[in-house]
Amino acid sequence: MIPIAKPLFGEEEQQAAARVIASGWVTQGPEVAAFEKEFAEYCGAKYAVAVSSCTTALHLALRAVGVGPGDEVITVSHSFIATANSIRYCRATPVFIDIDPGTFNMRPDLVEPAIRRRTKAVLCVHQMGMPCDLAAILDVARRRGVPVVEDAACAIGSEIQWDGRWERIGRPRGAVACFSFHPRKVITTGDGGMLTTDNAEHDSKFRLWRQHAMSVPDTARHKADQVIFESYTELGFNYRMTDIQAAVGRVQLGRLPGILERRRQLAKRYLELLADIPGLGLPVEPPWARSNWQSFCVRLPRGCDQRMVMQRMLDAGIATRRGVMCAHREPAFNRGPWLFSDRAGPQQGSASSCVALREGERAQDHCVLLPLFPQMRDDEQNMVTATLHAAIGT
Ligand SMILES: *Cc1c(COP(=O)(O)O)cnc(C)c1O
């Protein structure tokens, strides 16, 4: 069986976790602090704050930029449901705009028509590790005074070119970027997330909120030679990452350059091996972007049945997934609250199908994600492409 993805672990992760357990300090301790420092350095951000997941990171990021009840946040429906859910956690309303069918990312030209009085943020997504057109999105958002939060769940190690220089996602261009360490992403801590920002106020808010808004962190009380009473200054959360996770994350971060190199090799091979399937749509990497290939997504030829192709692959021992979901089609969004926006501006969404979000819906219905993980051998990849050829009927 060839899985869709597979985390890359070695002895070092086991030792790192064991070391933390032996130390007796298992949460909000030295490993979390060290992971944050190393992650900030890797991305080129001033601050990095570790949390329990990317979903909780998104919640804190939106809260920090001032999203509250009744506000609107512009985002894409074509994303993992956590993107839209994080907006609802703030009791705000997602305003969905459509994607570009080539990159599967937010269309920057649809941002401006969607902005109105209650718009408090743009939540853009670097979908499947492919950088979205951040420069164009920031251009509109800055001009209209709307903060940009980046859902970089899948995008650790992905890069964008700015003025001829390559920069990693997470180096703050928008207000905050949010990363995931779920096993389906490029590196993993089991579960986990990270926020990066250059804003000192955001950084201290994230640290406060992730730990119940407790005025004095455990570490400070532990070290103090005088009795300290803490207080709880506002509504906080338990969004902590443990030191066991952080220690694993540090080892994974060390593996990242090798992981990225192999993922990029495999993506290049896929592009070569699949080039001769008539009508098959291959992922597009804009000249200013470098993907980490968190997922490799192909668009099936017209008239080709998605479920049938996936079943044929599965019968041959190859796991695939359908294209990224659309939040607005899920029962959780059936009775809103959500809006969609095209060139005419925001309108109430209700039906489970939405013409204005048609490229997202098409991508969900006609795309297939292929296996890609750093341990994948060339012969396994050859089998995937040969089986896809056969399954499509070429
Ligand atoms: C995986 C993912 C998330 C959620 O990440 P978790 O760490 O599982 O909370 C959010 N947004 C996108 C685009 C994702 O792919």
Q: Is the CB of 193 under 6 A from ligand 1?
A: yes
- Say how many residues make up the chain: 394
- The per-residue pLDDT for 349 is 81
User: Measured in angstroms, how far is the CA atom of residue 49 from the centroid of ligand 1?
Assistant: 16
Q: Is the CB of 129 under 6 A from ligand 1?
A: no
Q: DSSP assignment of 117-159, as one string?
A: TTEEEEEEE-GGGPPP-HHHHHHHHHHTT--EEEE-TT-TT-E
Confirm whether 235 is domain-assigned. Answer: yes
Q: DSSP assignment of 190-219, as one string?
A: SS-EEEEES-HHHHHHHHHHTBTTBSS-HH
Q: Is the CB of 125 under 6 A from ligand 1?
A: yes
Q: Are 159 and 168 in contact (CB under 8 A)?
A: yes
Residue with tokens 């001769």: 276
Q: Is the CB of 53 under 6 A from ligand 1?
A: yes
3 state DSSP class of 321? strand
List pLDDT tens digits, range 115-140. Answer: 999 999 999 999 999 999 999 999 99
- Dihedral (CA of 104, 110, 112, 116) sign: negative
Confirm whether 1 is domain-assigned. Answer: no
Residue 160 pLDDT greater than 70, yes or no: yes
User: Measured in angstroms, how far is the CA atom of residue 55 from the centroid of ligand 1?
Assistant: 6
- The per-residue pLDDT for 222 is 83
Confirm whether 345 is domain-assigned. Answer: yes
Q: Is the CB of 72 under 6 A from ligand 1?
A: no
Q: Which two tokens stand for residue 123?
A: 């939540």
- The per-residue pLDDT for 218 is 79
Cα(69)–Cα(110) distance, integer angstroms: 24
Cα(99)–Cα(250) distance, integer angstroms: 34
Q: Which atom of ligand 1 is nearest to the CA of 192?
A: 7
- The per-residue pLDDT for 351 is 66
Q: Into how many domains does the chain fold?
A: 1
Q: Which two tokens stand for residue 68?
A: 């509250």
- For residue 273, the 8-state DSSP code is H
Q: Is the CB of 247 under 6 A from ligand 1?
A: no
Confirm whether 4 is domain-assigned. Answer: no
Q: Is the CB of 150 under 6 A from ligand 1?
A: no
List pLDDT tens digits, range 33-42. Answer: 999 999 999 9
Confirm whether 3 is domain-assigned. Answer: no
Q: Is the CB of 368 under 6 A from ligand 1?
A: no
Over residues 40-47, mean pLDDT: 98
Residue from 53, 105, 106, 182 whose mutation best tests the ligand 1 pocket (most atoms within 8 A of CB): 182
Q: Which atom of ligand 1 is nearest to the CA of 86?
A: 10
pTM over 0.75, yes/no: yes
Residue 8 pLDDT greater than 70, yes or no: yes
Q: Are 50 and 253 in contact (CB under 8 A)?
A: no
Q: What are the beta bridge partners of residue 194? A: 50, 179
Structural domain range at position 204: 11-392
Higher pLDDT: 224 or 16? It is: 16
Q: How high is the mean pLDDT of the chain? A: 96
Confirm whether 5 is domain-assigned. Answer: no
CATH of the domain at 235: 3.40.640.10
Taking alpha carbons only, the member of 24, 45, 17 closest to residue 206 is: 45
List pLDDT tens digits, range 255-303. Answer: 999 999 999 999 999 999 999 999 999 999 999 999 999 999 999 999 9
Q: Which atom of ligand 1 is nearest to the CA of 56?
A: 9
Cα(45)–Cα(118) distance, integer angstroms: 29
List pLDDT tens digits, range 348-387. Answer: 987 667 999 999 999 999 999 999 999 999 999 999 999 9
- The per-residue pLDDT for 394 is 61
Q: Please name the residues in contact with 143: beta carbons below 8 A apart, sequence gap of 6 or more.
A: none
Confirm whether 6 is domain-assigned. Answer: no
Q: Is the CB of 241 under 6 A from ligand 1?
A: no
